[in-house]
Amino acid sequence: MGKDNTYDKRKTTRLILVSLMVLYACLVAYWMLFGFGRTLSPIYRFNAIPFLTLFGILTDNRTTLAYKAVNLVGNIGVFMPFGMSAAAATRGRVSKSYSAFFFAIFGFEIVQCLSRRGAFDIDDIILNSIGFLSGFAAVAVIQRKTGGSRIGAAVGTPKR
């Protein structure tokens, strides 16, 4: 009886966490396509040269410090929860979860370009990846320090 109750709690917790991540993913998708005053551009915009946009923003004296901070926080911090949830769900196995994340972000960058509601920018992919991997690493460290008993147990993932 106690074991079934624990299983039900884990199942419910997992369902809640997955639901929250789906809602969060929808919010991020909205931000990527419509948020922050995005309008329809008359041209397709893309950057395939790593760090070109990033260095341009950081060194441009015409952009405010607030804009620079929002760009970095938005492109890194907003994607940390995806890494955190992936780490909890996979018990610290990064390769498959990062591959799925990378292809999803790559796809969204293409959608931004083709919809003309943003640009395909390799710098965004790099910064988003840093966010994902930072979130993943934070949870992986916590799992190692606690023996995996806290986060993984909450979502019902088996120990390796």
**Per-residue confidence (pLDDT) for residue 13, from 0 to 100:** 84
CA distances from 44 to 37, 59, 95, 112 (A): 17, 24, 32, 9
pLDDT at 151: 56
122 contacts 48 by C-beta, under 8 angstroms = yes
- Return the SS3 of 6: helix
Domain ranges of the chain: 2-155
Angle between helices 52-59 and 122-145 (to 10 degrees): 90
Per DSSP, helices labelled H in 1-79 are 2-33, 52-59, 65-76
pLDDT of residue 148: 66
User: Tens-digit pLDDT profile for the chain (160 aa)?
Assistant: 556 677 788 888 888 988 999 999 999 999 999 988 889 999 999 999 999 999 999 999 999 999 999 889 889 999 999 999 998 888 768 888 999 999 999 999 999 999 999 999 999 999 999 999 999 999 988 888 887 655 555 554 545 4
The model carries a pTM of 0.85
